[in-house]
Each structure stands twice: as structure tokens, then as C-alpha cells.
Amino acid sequence: MLRYLPKWIMRRAKVLWSSFESRKFTFSEAEKALEGDDSRMVAVILSELKRAGWLHASADPDNPRKKLYQFTQPDIMREVVKIHVDN
């Protein structure tokens, strides 16, 4: 079940969604997409999105110390980002 998130996180989720949509991405790719935020803030954003059920994290097969992130509900994410963030 997806949880509600504050607008400041949803704005960044929109940036991540527009960059990656339903494909997997790494922390460093998320940092590049969220260029205005430092690495600590990116960690908080990814953690909150994951805790709320918006993102799934799995181990990178090439380097198990790193994680790969992916949006869990692409259809819902498309609609929520359109409706919620622009207001």
C-alpha cells in the first residue's frame, strides 16, 4: 500500500520519475537527477519513498554493496505526479 508523502518529496519524486520512469536506477544516478540536493538529502528522499512503498530497492548484481531503485507502481505514479505535484 502506498502512503501519502509531503509535497517536497513528491516534487523530487516527479524529477526522478521524469528521469527514470519504470527503469532501475542507482543512487549516483538519482544524485545527478536531483542536482540541487546534496547526497544526504538524496538518501533521505530515497529512504522516504522506499518506506512509503513508492520505490523498491534491490542489490546491484554487479556490486552487491550498491542498491538499484525502481518505482513500484508505474501506472499510479504517472497519475499521482500529474495531479499532486503541480498544485
Q: pLDDT tens digits for 16-59? A: 999 999 899 999 999 999 998 999 999 999 999 999 999 999 99
pLDDT exceeds 90 at position 66: yes
- Percent pLDDT > 70 in the chain is 91
pLDDT of residue 78: 76
- Yes or no: say if 42 and 50 are a contact pair by the CB < 8 Å rule: no
Pairing of strands 67-71, 55-59: antiparallel
pLDDT of residue 4: 79
Q: Domain 7-85: give its CATH architecture.
A: Orthogonal Bundle (1.10)
Dist CA 21 CA 19 (whole Å): 6
Q: What cell numbers appear for 40 in the block? A: 544526504
pLDDT exceeds 80 at position 80: no
The answer for 35, left when phi > 0, alpha when psi is -120 to 50, beta otherwise, is alpha
